[in-house]
Structure 1
Amino acid sequence: MVATALVVMVWLAMVAECDRRTARIPNRLLWPGVLAVVVGGLISPHVLIAALAGSVPYLLAFARRWCGGGDVKLGFVLGGILAYPVAALLMVALAQVGVLIGHRRGGPVRRPHGPTLILAAVLVLAFG
């Protein structure tokens, strides 16, 4: 269990850094997580519901060009990791608070959502 958590944390750090540097999250980084969540959802359907709760808000934002497709897939994976729909929605809300704080501090108008979304998921896991 600890080894799995370490692998996931390293993976999340890679995704966050890639998004921070390039404002893109490559599919080759995301698809293993998507596959793991789908397999987990076959075992426990609430995992898929939580994954959808984490991704649908980003899908709606993607339709308005407010975020990228990688953010939608990352929301799916992180929602699945959280495994509870309410936790996934809390993650999305916290991530948006983080984005708003970044804008208020004079950050760029277009900023990567991945690092903020990952931080929000870690906070929900730690304190939720």
Structure 2
Amino acid sequence: MVATALVVMIWLAVVAESDRRTARIPNRLLWPGVLAVVVGGLTAPHVLIAALAGAVPYLLAFTRRWCGGADVKLGFVLGGLLAHPVAALLMVALAQVGVLIGHRRGGPVRRPHGPTLILAAVLVLAIG
């Protein structure tokens, strides 16, 4: 279990750094997580429900071009990792607070969202 958590933390750090540096998250980094959530959801349907709760708000934003497709997939994976729909929605809400704080501080209007979303998921995990 500890080894799995360590692998997931390293993976999240790689995803966040990729997005921070390039404003892109390559599919090759996201699809393994998507597959893991789908496979896990086959035996634990609440995982898929939580994944959808994490992805649907980003899917709606994606249709308005407010975020990228990678954010939709990352929301799906992180929602699945949280494994509870309310936790996934809290993650989305916290990520949006992070976006608002970032805009308030100035800087580029368009900035990578992956690191903020990952931080929000970690905060939700930390508060239990």
- TM-score per shorter chain, which class? over 0.9
Identity, in percent, stands at 91
Deviation at 1:107, TM superposition (A): 2.4
Distance 1:40 1:34 in 2: 10
Structure 1's consecutive aligned runs of 4 or more residues displaced over 6 angstroms after TM superposition are none
**Residue equivalent to 1:95:** 95
Distance 1:27 1:80 in 2: 17
Distance 1:95 1:107 in 2: 18
Distance 1:92 1:104 in 2: 19
Deviation at 1:108, TM superposition (A): 1.1
How many correspondences in the alignment? 128
TM superposition score normalised by structure 2: 0.99
Deviation at 1:109, TM superposition (A): 0.5
TM superposition score normalised by structure 1: 0.99
Q: Which runs of 5 or more residues in structure 1 are unaligned? A: none
Distance 1:94 1:127 in 2: 12
Aligned-CA RMSD value: 0.5
Q: Deviations over 1:62-115 (max 9, x none)?
A: 000000000000000000000000000000000000000000000211011100
Q: Which runs of 5 or more residues in structure 2 are unaligned? A: none
